[in-house]
Structure 1
Amino acid sequence: MEQDALISRTMASSLASEIRTDIIEGVLAPGSKLRIKDLCERYTAGSIPMREALSRLAASGFVVAEDQRGFRVSDVSMEDLIDITETRIHIECQALQRSIERGNLEWEELILSTHHRVSRLPMSTSTERLNPEWEQAHVAFHAALLSASESKWLCHLASLLRDQTARYRLLSVSKPAAVEPAGDGQQRIVVDSGITRDIAAEHKAMAHAALARDSATACSLLRAHLQATTDIVLRQAQQDAS
């Protein structure tokens, strides 16, 4: 029985991860009904681990559990995105400040290695969509900045909010962003005719400030970095609505 329970929990964890990815990428649309039977067929899973997976996703905000009505994908709204961004800025800046105060040589090496990787990978694929490998490296770099905070809850909340932000970004961009060379093998992302954003330069500045133990500058740069993404998404949503 214990072995069966362990297998079920492991399956639930795997299912939760897979379904969360599909929600973030918009494969499962906001507000859509999540029928257990359909999901079990889609993900080749049993009903018990599937219910547990959906319950976990409900706890993290990706899914809504409705009394007597099952589950559905959480809705999205621009007001919610603004709230998520404000909360994320508060959490990540606090964690970054703690990391700068507590970080050791290993932390510095982690920042250098993750920054090197994200700076060397192409931001877009041949189809001009964001490169999944770059996205993973991007997440790793941001996680590295906070990793010396010595607070598992700050890091956990930052990771959760980062996932929610990724969901909004991918859902709100109706067509792929263009990229242009920025020298030294880097790329700038061109969001629309009026915005060109050098994300590689933003990352480099944040890494430099963190390694210099300049928490005021590092937090200011991080705040601007996170807010810029939200401002772009909001602008695109307004353009799509007009």
Structure 2
Amino acid sequence: MLTPTNAAHLLSSRTMAATLEDLVRRDIITGSLLPGSKLRVKELGERYGAGAIPLREALSRLCATGFVVAVDQKGFRVADISLEELVDITETRQDIERLAIVRAIRRRDTQWEGNVLSAHHQLQRLSVYEPQESNRLNPEWEVAHNRFHTVLIAGCQSERLTHFAMLLRDQTARYRHLSATAPHAHDRNLANEHDAIVHAVLSHDVELASSLLVEHFGRTTKLVAAALEVRLSKVT
């Protein structure tokens, strides 16, 4: 029988697992937990000050989203990264968000357009890179960037489209961090890219907005490819 005490304990364990899921995902995205590295529950417990049960639940959840891989049911490791995976993720995201932005513009209203302007304004006020570490993305910019792209397609009014877009956006996040280390990464003018997308959206130019969004994602993939080439050259 599920007693009030047991129910409270179960709820507490699930809440902790959700918190740990966010923490581990963040450390995978930022590269604090390296691709392919083993995720030992004992070491993670010391790192996050957590017990084995909620940690295992958190890691199991991350397996479902592709950030973590279960190893023969004996343990876990961080999922590897590869150019092939990134291309697959990017092309799928391009298809989904192209459809979403087209629907959003066609179903537009003043509230959505105002939200786009607000998210864009907040994003443009922030520096892309950390002031003291030019090859690391600014965490505040990352939050604002994620919100901008979320708001941009929210007008499509489709829970399924926005859900799949969110999953893919999470998957590309750690690749975006890697793109910051690519040669000529700072030559890219992200502010101008975002400006152009917003202008096309507010002009209700469906074709231009969707093509600019697709190109925007494609440029990140090219930068990551360059960064991966540099990494591989150092290994060999």
TM-score w.r.t. length of structure 1: 0.87
Query: Aligned pairs, how many?
Result: 226
Structure 2 residue matching 1:64: 3-state secondary structure: strand
Partner of 1:222: 213
Identify the match of residue 56 of structure 1 among 54, 61, 64: 61
CA distance in 1, matches of 2:160, 2:44: 31
Partner of 1:6: 11
Report the AA paired with residue 95 of structure 1: A
Q: Write out per-residue CA displacement over residues 148-182 of structure 1, whole angstroms, 9 at most, x where no aligned residue.
A: 1222222122122112212123235547x7xxxxx
Task: Give the helix-richer structure, 1 or 2.
Answer: 2
Q: Is 1:157 matched with 2:164?
A: yes
Query: Deviation of residue 112 (structure 1)?
Result: 0.4
Identify the match of residue 134 of structure 1 among 137, 141, 144: 141
Partner of 1:180: none
Query: Deviation of residue 239 (structure 1)?
Result: 3.8
Identify the match of residue 185 of structure 2 among 172, 187, 191: 191
CA distance in 1, matches of 2:89, 2:31: 18
Q: Structure 1 residues 105 and 173, CA, compared in 2 at 3 Å: closer, same or farther?
A: closer
Report the AA paired with residue 231 of structure 1: K
Identify the match of residue 153 of structure 2 among 146, 150, 153: 146
Partner of 1:187: none
Show the 5 A alignment for 1:1-242. Answer: 1-127=6-132, 128=134, 129-171=136-178, 173-174=180-181, 190-191=184-185, 196-242=187-233
CA distance in 2, matches of 1:151, 1:66: 36
CA contact (8 A) 2:127 2:141 kept: yes
Query: Deviation of residue 238 (structure 1)?
Result: 2.2
CA distance in 1, matches of 2:193, 2:95: 19
Report the AA paired with residue 102 of structure 1: R
Query: Deviation of residue 4 (structure 1)?
Result: 1.4
Q: Structure 1 residues 47 and 116, CA, compared in 2 at 3 Å: closer, same or farther?
A: same
Tell me, which stretches of 5 or more residues in structure 2 are unaligned?
1-5
Q: Structure 1 residues 226 and 56, CA, compared in 2 at 3 Å: closer, same or farther?
A: same
Q: Structure 1 residues 240 and 62, CA, compared in 2 at 3 Å: closer, same or farther?
A: closer
